[in-house]
């Protein structure tokens, strides 16, 4: 649902003067879906149905939904290993994602990717990637391809604030700024790279200031307020499509859970008080409040949305559980292009 | 047939493929306005313009990743590494992305890209500019590794690499750019994965590739005067390896020397020895010997450097040993 095929009409103003009011319902459903999906994934991980690493997105839902809801269907999205939320927001099905987490043949990557490597070429979802910051030059590459082909597509690259400290960030942003690529670089700044706080890893903690080095705007955004995220997205996309080049968004958000399923939500590198305080600005609660104020949501409406989301997640889990394992022969396929494949 | 240098044969391959397919572009340091650090891309900017012959900052990781990203959308980039020593800075994109993307995506996304540039030692460039890394890349499933030894193979293999739908690591010989040879004009394709008998012989097989092909041929010539008739088998492609060609030759000669530019430990030659002992044990009349560079960083001093490198003398000595004639 969240994939808009047009350049985001600002407001059809149905029952309220608020911009985007006609999209609130879709946004809320998607944010709820991401949260309930992730809660279910966490449960499935804890009983061994999901293996490997599993990095949950709970608390950051407004970032993915706010940014991706304003994209065209032919734009590119690429992310790191905390990407279930972005994949859902991009319109990949709960079934295909959950089945991938289970490693099943019906998963979006045929069970060969797993939690960190969700792909859907048709949706322009170019993957979750497991090396911190390694996807940033790839995002610039999609933007380069769009410029090469003159398509006015944009490329949206998600990464955490810790990735802003690696060389790939600098190299990709410098080239993107130099060549005015239609790239949007999104720092999902949840304050912690695994267990290391920003102030312990970055010489300048206001990361949006780094954009000045690359000849592009750097914008700090309240990542808990989906309207703020959406507005920042539209400004950046319009600039990119007009050939004016990239934007760096430093989106301040918070993850409620640990870095991965092996990491407690609080206790070691951050306090329970800090976590509790962050929950006071829950992105879903904020949108709900906005909708209630505008008369667009009541208890019955919310219950209906919750039920719909719960049913979708339950269906996805059942689908994943009942899906077949990949055939043993799949071990050796997809290493190289099939012999004789054209182009 | 025209007589071309290895450098100009590569240039001809690039030009023909860029003329043929608008999705093919060349990107790298100094490829455009400078005409290429080794002049492989001479004249291409003038013909194809700055969107298709693209100068980059000195940022191997960044531009390699941009190339890989564009290949994931279906473009067919040729990414020039000024040397393979510098490509170490880009190895994350080559190994962690280009080689893996098809598998990780369950076959949805391919990566038709060529990474090319000179590898190995030249003359007195010191330890950081004198390394043969083919065994590193050949170790990685999902990559193809191609290493032409002659101008004709350089042209034919580069054209095939550009048309290939998988990531190809195309390692040119830094000392081969001025080598001259006959090169077929126009459409000349050498298939990836097919070795070539550069000299037929009966007594011993010298398996070699890239810069060791010429010394192997020189050694064979010298050995023929001693009554030893050596076959020189140029692998041309390290991965996929033409195992049949190797085994065919061993079945004929029963003796094998592997000559490579790289280091001994876990080198390409180790793979050849594994193949031969496993599949042709009963054909062998002697243990397989390997000729390689000394197991040290390359020294600057010219005498030490010469001592470190594989050459025709060392290859001939190894051949005499497997023939029990030393």
Q: Give the separation between CA B20 and CA A307, rounded to whole angstroms.
A: 56
Q: How confident is the model at residue A254 (pLDDT cuts 50, 70, 90)?
A: very high
Q: Give the separation between CA B317 and CA B326, rounded to whole angstroms.
A: 7
CB contact under 8 A, A178 and B64: no
Q: Give the separation between CA B225 and CA A219, rounded to whole angstroms.
A: 76
Nearest CA in chain B to A170: B62
Q: Which of A197, A220, A222 is nearest to A208 (CA)?
A: A220
pLDDT of residue B326: 81
Q: Is A121 on the interface with B (CB under 8 A)?
A: yes
Q: Give the separation between CA B154 and CA B183, rounded to whole angstroms.
A: 9
Q: How confident is the model at residue A15 (pLDDT cuts 50, 70, 90)?
A: low
Beta bridge partners of A221: A251
Candidate from B68, B102, B104 with C-beta closest to A138: B68
Contacting residues of B for A136, CB less than 8 Å apart: 65
pLDDT of residue A4: 42
Q: Give the separation between CA B135 and CA B118, rounded to whole angstroms.
A: 15
pLDDT of residue A136: 98
Catalytic residues of B: 60, 129
Contacting residues of A for B48, CB less than 8 Å apart: none
Tell me the nearest-neighbour CA distance from B226 into chain A, angstroms: 45
Strands B289-291 and B256-259: parallel
Q: Is A133 on the interface with B (CB under 8 A)?
A: no
pLDDT of B301 higher than 90: yes
Residue pLDDT, tens place only, B77-128: 999 999 999 999 999 999 999 999 999 999 999 999 999 999 999 999 999 9
Residue pLDDT, tens place only, B235-277: 999 999 999 999 999 999 999 999 999 999 999 999 999 999 9
Share of chain A above pLDDT 70, in %: 94
Q: How confident is the model at residue A2 (pLDDT cuts 50, 70, 90)?
A: very low
Q: Give the separation between CA A245 and CA A181, rounded to whole angstroms.
A: 5
pLDDT of B17 higher than 50: yes
Residue pLDDT, tens place only, B191-245: 999 999 999 999 999 999 999 999 999 999 999 999 999 999 999 999 999 999 9
pLDDT of residue A13: 44
pLDDT of residue A341: 60
Exposure pattern of B167-198 as b/e (b: 16+ CB <10 Å)?
bbbbbbbbbbbebebebeeeebebebbebbeb
Q: How confident is the model at residue A5 (pLDDT cuts 50, 70, 90)?
A: very low
Element (H, E) at B240: none
CB contact under 8 A, B102 and A337: yes
Best mutation target among A108, A125, A145 (most B Cβ atoms within 10 Å) is: A145
Residue pLDDT, tens place only, B26-64: 999 999 999 999 999 999 999 999 999 999 999 999 999
Look up residue B98 and give its DSSP letter.
Answer: I
pLDDT of residue A340: 61
Residue pLDDT, tens place only, B122-150: 999 999 999 999 999 999 999 999 999 99
pLDDT of A7 higher than 60: no
Q: Is A123 on the interface with B (CB under 8 A)?
A: no
pLDDT of B67 higher than 70: yes
Contacting residues of B for A76, CB less than 8 Å apart: 73
Exposure pattern of B69-104 as b/e (b: 16+ CB <10 Å)?
bbbbbebbbbbbbbbbbebbbbbbbbbbbbbbbbbb
Q: Is B101 on the interface with A (CB under 8 A)?
A: yes
pLDDT of residue A244: 98
Higher pLDDT, B216 or A15: B216
ipTM greater than 0.85, yes or no?
A: yes
pLDDT of residue A10: 45
Angle between helices A167-179 and B60-72 (to 10 degrees): 70
Nearest CA in chain B to A76: B73
Q: Which of B23, B89, B8 is nearest to A170 (CA)?
A: B89
pLDDT of residue B293: 97
């Amino acid at each position: 649902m969240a994939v808009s095929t047009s350049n985001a009409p600002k407001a059809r103003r149905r029952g309220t003067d608020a911009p985007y009011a006609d999209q609130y319902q879709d946004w809320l459903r998607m944010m709820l879906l991401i949260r309930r999906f992730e809660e279910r994934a966490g449960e499935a991980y804890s009983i061994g149905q999901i293996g490997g690493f599993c990095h949950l997105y709970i608390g950051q839902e407004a970032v993915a939904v706010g940014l991706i809801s304003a994209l065209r269907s032919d734009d590119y999205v690429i992310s790191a290993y905390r990407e279930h939320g972005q994949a859902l927001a991009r319109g990949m099905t709960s079934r295909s994602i959950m089945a991938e987490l289970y490693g099943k043949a019906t998963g979006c990557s045929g069970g060969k990717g797993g939690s960190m490597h969700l792909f859907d070429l048709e949706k322009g979802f170019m993957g979750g990637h497991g090396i911190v910051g390694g996807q940033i030059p790839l995002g610039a590459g999609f933007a380069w391809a769009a410029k090469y082909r003159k398509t006015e597509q944009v490329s949206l690259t998600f990464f955490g604030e810790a990735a802003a400290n690696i060389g790939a960030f600098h190299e990709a942003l410098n080239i993107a700024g130099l060549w005015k690529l239609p790239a949007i670089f999104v720092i999902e700044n949840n304050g912690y790279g695994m267990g290391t706080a920003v102030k312990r890893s970055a010489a300048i903690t206001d990361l949006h200031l780094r954009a000045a080095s690359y000849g592009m705007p750097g914008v700090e955004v309240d990542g808990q307020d989906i309207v703020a995220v959406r507005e920042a997205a539209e400004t950046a996309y319009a600039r990119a499509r007009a050939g004016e080049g990239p934007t760096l968004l430093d989106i301040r958000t918070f993850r409620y859970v640990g870095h991965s399923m092996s990491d407690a939500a609080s206790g070691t590198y951050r306090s329970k008080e800090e976590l509790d305080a962050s929950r006071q600005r829950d992105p879903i609660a904020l949108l709900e409040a906005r909708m209630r104020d505008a008369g667009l949501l009541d208890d019955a409406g919310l219950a209906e949305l919750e039920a719909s989301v719960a049913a979708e997640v339950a269906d996805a889990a059942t689908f994943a559980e009942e899906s077949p394992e990949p055939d043993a022969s799949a071990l050796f396929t997809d290493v190289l292009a099939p012999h004789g494949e054209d182009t | 047939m025209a007589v071309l240098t290895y450098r100009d044969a590569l240039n001809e391959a690039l030009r023909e493929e860029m003329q043929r397919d608008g999705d093919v572009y060349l990107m790298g340091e100094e490829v455009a306005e400078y005409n290429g650090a080794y002049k492989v891309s001479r004249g291409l900017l003038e013909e194809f313009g700055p969107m298709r012959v693209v100068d980059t900052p000195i940022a191997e990781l960044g531009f390699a990743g941009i190339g890989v990203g564009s290949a994931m959308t279906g473009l067919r980039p040729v990414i020039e590494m000024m040397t393979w020593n510098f490509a170490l800075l880009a190895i994350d994109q080559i190994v962690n992305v280009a080689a893996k993307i098809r598998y990780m995506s369950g076959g949805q996304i391919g990566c038709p890209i060529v990474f090319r540039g000179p590898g190995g030692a030249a003359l007195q460039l010191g330890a950081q500019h004198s390394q043969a890394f083919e065994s590193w890349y050949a170790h990685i499933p999902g990559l193809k590794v191609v290493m032409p030894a002659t101008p004709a193979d350089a042209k034919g293999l580069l054209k095939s690499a550009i048309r290939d739908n998988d990531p190809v690591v195309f390692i040119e010989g830094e000392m081969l750019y001025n080598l001259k040879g006959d090169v077929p004009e126009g459409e000349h394709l050498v298939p990836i994965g097919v070795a070539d008998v550069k000299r037929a012989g009966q007594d011993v097989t010298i398996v070699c590739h890239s810069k060791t092909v010429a010394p192997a041929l020189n050694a064979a010539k010298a050995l023929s005067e001693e009554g030893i008739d050596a076959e020189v088998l140029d692998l041309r492609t390290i991965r996929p390896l033409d195992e049949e060609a190797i085994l065919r030759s061993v079945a004929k000669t029963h003796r094998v020397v592997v000559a490579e530019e790289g280091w001994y430990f876990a080198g390409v030659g180790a793979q050849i020895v594994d193949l031969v002992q496993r599949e042709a044990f009963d054909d062998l009349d002697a243990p397989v010997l390997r000729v390689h560079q000394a197991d040290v960083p390359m020294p600057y001093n010219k005498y030490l450097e010469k001592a470190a490198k594989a050459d025709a003398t060392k290859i001939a000595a190894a051949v005499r040993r497997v023939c029990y004639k030393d």
